[in-house]
Structure 1
């Protein structure tokens, strides 16, 4: 396993992108035709990750694995998508924030996005934009053939809302 990122990311309007520098996907297009609404991958070479927290900071760990990692049963909500990594140097971004991420391999990957405490974060009233929300996230990438997205686990009402939104678009 290679750690790509571990830390806090400021979010606004509940999103984080994994993309090429300067490219910012549209949320509706990113999840079009998918069954899950938490990790949009319908736009080539881009992921749109939804957070429970509207504005503030969330904890995120991003990892690259040479093969599919074991599924950790402790995460409340888990989805998977296929993601074509166009180049090794990508960015995690949200509005004015961006952080370089060096992915070890280009080509078709599987992305697993895991979330905790999305319902609590949806109702979290931050005092400032720097407050840390109660939610946390794990993004795992590994080389794999393309296959349809899937909802691995759904326990939060917030995830159910976003899945229904994706399925209706």
Structure 2
């Protein structure tokens, strides 16, 4: 298990993206990989997941744990916790704040920590969404290999979450 802290630059989108370097363009081929959502995370197609954040722009402190097994949810420390399955065709994934003006230096590589191509589980922990804040550890993503499962809401306390 490896935990990384990073600052993700977001430019007026209120989202960060987890992308598979080899196939994030597959989001355009919906018939091959249908979109699905669990409120705070949307799978936009094979190799593309968007995660909602409170602030619309700025530098967002993000914590990511990549593990070879379920690292366990932190239900006491967060207001909202959700899970969803994610397909990584290459096993080479990164976190980025915006897609329009691509800059490799702003993409946070999470590889080669992943064991390779396959299906992963994403668990997204969030707090402070109501206040649109971005304190350290308000945004926490866990990634581990797991078979395909339905999206799940593990905990929800925020009013904003109910709007998605």
Matching residue of 2:144: 142
Give me the whole-angstrom Cα distance separating, in 2, the residues matched to 1:107 and 1:19. Answer: 14
Give me the whole-angstrom Cα distance separating, in 2, the residues matched to 1:47 and 1:33. Answer: 10
Q: Is the 8 A contact 2:6 2:108 kept in 1?
A: no
Matching residue of 2:20: 20
Matching residue of 2:80: 77
Number of corresponding residues: 148
Matching residue of 2:114: 104
State yes or no: 1:11 paired with 2:10.
yes
Structure 2 segments unaligned to the other structure (5+ residues)? none
Cα shift at 1:91: 1.8
Instruction: Using structure 1 for the length normalisation, give the TM-score.
Output: 0.76
Q: Is the 8 A contact 2:24 2:47 kept in 1?
A: no
Q: Is the 8 A contact 1:82 1:109 kept in 2?
A: yes
Task: Give the SS at the match of 2:154.
Answer: strand
Q: Deviations over 1:112-157 (max 9, x none)?
A: 0110100001xx6xxxxxxxx3472111011111011111111111
Instruction: Using structure 2 for the length normalisation, give the TM-score.
Output: 0.79
Give me the whole-angstrom Cα distance separating, in 1, the residues matched to 2:17 and 2:26. Answer: 8
State yes or no: 1:86 paired with 2:89.
yes
Matching residue of 2:52: 50
Task: Give the SS at the match of 1:88.
Answer: coil
Structure 1 segments unaligned to the other structure (5+ residues)? 125-132, 163-169
Matching residue of 1:130: none
Task: Give the SS at the match of 2:45.
Answer: coil
Q: Is the 8 A contact 2:94 2:109 kept in 1?
A: yes
Matching residue of 1:119: 130
Q: Is the 8 A contact 2:36 2:43 kept in 1?
A: no
